[in-house]
Structure 1
Amino acid sequence: MRVKRMWERCHARVVGIGLLFLSMLHSGALFALGTPQGEAKSGAQEQKTGGSEGGREAEFRRGARAYRLRATRLPESEKILLDGFLNEPVWQQADVADNFIQTEPREGEPATEPTEARVVYDHETLYIGIIAYDSEPHRLIINELRKDFNLSNGDVVQVVLDTFFDRRNGYEFATNPGGAKWDAQMTNEGREVNSDWDGIWHVRTQINERAWTVEMAIPFRTLKFRQGDVQVWGINFMRRIRRKNEESYWAPIPRMFNSIHYVSRAGVLEGLEDIRPGTNLRIKPYVIGSLADFSTGGPTPHRVFRGDGGVDAKWGVTSGLTLDVTYNTDFSQVEADEQQINLTRFSLFFPEKRDFFLEGSGIFRFGPGEQGGGMMGGAGGGGMGGRLGAVRNDLILFFSRRIGLSENGEPIPLRAGMRLTGRVGPYELGFLNIQQEALGRTPATNFLVTRVRRNVLANSDLGFMFMNMARARAPQRVYGGDANFRFFQNLNLHGYMAKVAAPGLR
């Protein structure tokens, strides 16, 4: 593969200054958070109604802090049967998140169909119960039952959990009336959405003459959060009514954003006490073998046995750091790529689906990330804007799909590797080292990637990235730094610089 000349004559050359844009708010009625007349406010939503345009805008800016929900502890003597009925006594005692506000089609107005959400927990599991009332339940739209279904094609409820309460990152879980599951890891308020992440959680749904109901059970070992006796998380709920093209949120999101990814505008989940993420150690060994009999009826049998094995391990080093280790990696169980027909002279983009590279992969993104993409379907959720499935693949400094593949697309065995990802205080860290075996004309290669990103200001970050590909007679190194500043609601400034060092490249 020819390495493009990125630096010429000078020792430093800026190879990209990302996009700088300013989108002014439309003139007209601003988004209001006031409770509609004739409706009582719930205990989870104690906000005032502004009397003027400026007052309503001020209420919107403080809305996320006003939306508070208290989780209810499940008594030791009670258990929740996950069946979707929400008939346990604890659900009636739990605090209610209701009075959802539309983002589409009538921004700022109450949702046309009531929705209620509740949160209950015990020492091992977080339970989320949702009642989605519907005056015409026979008109619910359920188009898919597969895992990671398309969120835009039917009725959906979705929840986001900002477990570190950093107003930037979170876990997302969604389902439809048929009980299909969708989940994702989201970083930087949706600039990176990893919907190929598969967490351990369970959901059941029911449909009756008045509503469809949801019971989710999310083990705490699936989530990462800070150590502490008392937890405060960010939380928000979204409901989509497909036949009405309606989207509504508990903690409202303005139309210009229109995505549950924006956890800086989410509500607050309180009341979580004495919970722990658990040991978080998973080991997956595998053994494969084959026996071939080449006997042709002669007196001496000719049998050939071949065997192999390997192991994958995942360990939560701390509440924020995860270590993945693999030996003699086998990816035979990985979901196959969707077939694509390429009628252009450009390479096709296939997303990463191998578990070893997936969790926390957002830390290895460089530059502005997926601006405007990943908002719908299998790539994200909770948004109506942007081209469906759009991905900013014009700047991917590190693309893990090239590891374990030859130049002509043949798979190459991976001998061993390790990966450390997560966060320590204001820093997000990523370290990956993996050894690829030799195959044909491709020599043995070691891949090393290091990424450090520092959160600054309210929603900005600075980062550095180093990559090294060590192979005989053709080592390559890449250095890069990026800065992503996000001011107010509508001003983004991205800058990045990178350099490639390789034999013969000046």
Structure 2
Amino acid sequence: MHRFCLILIVLLAGVLSVSAQAPRHYICYRTTGTTLDWQNIPWTEDFLDIEGTAKPNPLYRTRVKMQWDDTCLYILAELEEPHIRATLRQRDTIIFHDNDFEVFIDPDGDTHQYYEIEINALNTVMDLFMVKPYRNGGQAMINWDAKGLRTAVRFNGTLNNPADKDTSWTVEMAIPFRALAFYGRRSPVQDGSTWRINFSRVQWQMDIVEGQYVKRPHTPEYNWVWSPQGMINMHAPERWGYLQFSVQRPGVFKEPVTTAAVNELWDIYYRQKQYWEQHRSYAKNTEALGINSAAVIEGTTLQFSASIREAGYIIIINQEGKITSRHE
């Protein structure tokens, strides 16, 4: 989903920190069978509006299940829908012009070099790679393909039939881990590995006019997501949910030990962006940003970095919002 321009408005309006709602998390269990059994796999929470609980609940339920093995991440999504409709058939066309289901994956959580996969009810796929978010000058590499991706769509109802009422449609995906190693090596997935991930559902408002579906004019689409972003922009990976891989059942989610430091650095990032709009240079210390922090800042006209030591790590953020960490 490429509706990203509102991030600039958000920054200029003085939003200085990440969404007040903590990112959701999901424990993804390893499957040992030769065929997938979804029966005992838990659902995620129901999707909410992209801006969070301050907005009305979605009209229709959406939820997801996940599991993994040595080769793939498996996803099952269920989308309630009274009128299943899709028109786009060409791969890598802009799928969110139809109602669609979207997956966003950042395996190492640095907010750069991440992946997006969109699919509609015709099983038409658009997949892309982002070197960095749009807000930082990134461009979508739509010519990237998730090699080995397998998808399937099923209907509880009929496709493109305005004369009846449908119940839902489901999406299944098998995403090979090797497809997510583009632009550098990734650590192998193992017990306890943690990714950042989110899911989005784009839903257009339709009317039935003379027996045909007609997109309601001058009416924006709904954006329903698993882990609310706090703004209308999916391309802020720091606000995505956590996906933690587990061999044991039941698993216990373990928040990354650097989470508090990372959140503090994101607060500094947003404050630095506002500071630059006012001064056309970045602040050189936290006092200039109006906060009391142990972070060390180096700032110039065009660049800054801020670092915090926590739990045996040094965590760093820069002016492009890239997070890096290393053991001390």
| Residues 196, 242 of structure 2: 8 Å contact kept | yes
Q: Distance in 2 between matches of 1:156 and 1:167?
A: 23
| 1:169 positional shift | 3.5
Identical counterparts, % of pairs: 21
The aligned amino acid for 2:59 is: T
Q: Distance in 2 between matches of 1:455 and 1:221?
A: 32
Q: Distance in 1 between matches of 2:70 and 2:179?
A: 13
| Residues 459, 485 of structure 1: 8 Å contact kept | no
| Residues 116, 130 of structure 1: 8 Å contact kept | yes
* Structure 2 CA distance for partners of 1:22 and 1:267, relative to 1, 3 Å: closer
* Structure 2 CA distance for partners of 1:72 and 1:486, relative to 1, 3 Å: closer
| 1:246 positional shift | 1.0
RMSD, matched Cα: 3.4
The aligned amino acid for 2:145 is: D
| Residues 161, 234 of structure 1: 8 Å contact kept | yes
| Residues 107, 254 of structure 1: 8 Å contact kept | no
1:270 counterpart residue number: 244
Q: Distance in 1 between matches of 2:77 and 2:245?
A: 18
Per-residue displacement from partner, 1:136-166 (whole Å, max 9, x unpaired)?
1xx3331201101213311100011111122
Q: Distance in 2 between matches of 1:124 and 1:486?
A: 30
The aligned amino acid for 2:71 is: E
Matched, 1:91 2:48: no
Per-residue displacement from partner, 1:416-446 (whole Å, max 9, x unpaired)?
xxxxxxxxxxxxxxxxxxxxxxxxxxxxxxx
2:22 counterpart residue number: 63
The aligned amino acid for 2:156 is: N
Q: Distance in 1 between matches of 2:61 and 2:189?
A: 35
Q: Distance in 2 between matches of 1:105 and 1:265?
A: 12
| Residues 95, 125 of structure 2: 8 Å contact kept | no
Structure 1 length normalisation: TM-score? 0.40
| 1:111 positional shift | 1.4
Q: Secondary structure at the match of 1:217?
A: strand
Q: Which runs of 5+ in 2 are unaligned?
A: 1-7, 158-166, 207-220, 249-302, 308-314, 323-328
Structure 2 length normalisation: TM-score? 0.59
Aligned pairs, how many? 222
| 1:193 positional shift | 2.2
1:249 counterpart residue number: 225
| 1:243 positional shift | 2.1
Q: Secondary structure at the match of 2:50?
A: strand
Matched, 1:179 2:138: no
Question: Where do residues 25-424 of structure 1 align in structure 2 (5 Å cutoff)?
Answer: 60-64=19-23, 67-76=24-33, 78-80=34-36, 90-103=37-50, 108-134=55-81, 136=82, 139-190=83-134, 191-200=138-147, 201-209=149-157, 210-224=167-181, 225-227=186-188, 229-230=190-191, 231-243=193-205, 245-255=221-231, 258-272=232-246
Q: Secondary structure at the match of 2:109?
A: coil
2:4 counterpart residue number: none
The aligned amino acid for 1:205 is: V
* Structure 2 CA distance for partners of 1:170 and 1:486, relative to 1, 3 Å: closer
Q: Secondary structure at the match of 1:252?
A: coil
* Structure 2 CA distance for partners of 1:132 and 1:22, relative to 1, 3 Å: closer
The aligned amino acid for 1:183 is: D
> Between Structure 1 and Structure 2, whose CA radius of gyration is higher?
1
1:23 counterpart residue number: 12
| Residues 105, 247 of structure 1: 8 Å contact kept | no
Per-residue displacement from partner, 1:24-51 (whole Å, max 9, x unpaired)?
159xxxxxxxxxxxxxxxxxxxxxxxxx
| Residues 141, 243 of structure 1: 8 Å contact kept | no
| Residues 47, 58 of structure 2: 8 Å contact kept | yes
Q: Distance in 1 between matches of 2:320 and 2:125?
A: 34
If asked which structure has higher relative contact order (CA below 8 Å, sep 6+), I would say 2
The aligned amino acid for 2:35 is: K
| Residues 141, 242 of structure 1: 8 Å contact kept | no
Q: Distance in 1 between matches of 2:25 and 2:235?
A: 18
| Residues 234, 268 of structure 1: 8 Å contact kept | yes
The aligned amino acid for 2:169 is: W
The aligned amino acid for 1:250 is: W
Q: Secondary structure at the match of 2:22?
A: helix
| 1:116 positional shift | 1.1
* Structure 2 CA distance for partners of 1:111 and 1:273, relative to 1, 3 Å: same
The aligned amino acid for 1:79 is: T
* Structure 2 CA distance for partners of 1:459 and 1:485, relative to 1, 3 Å: farther
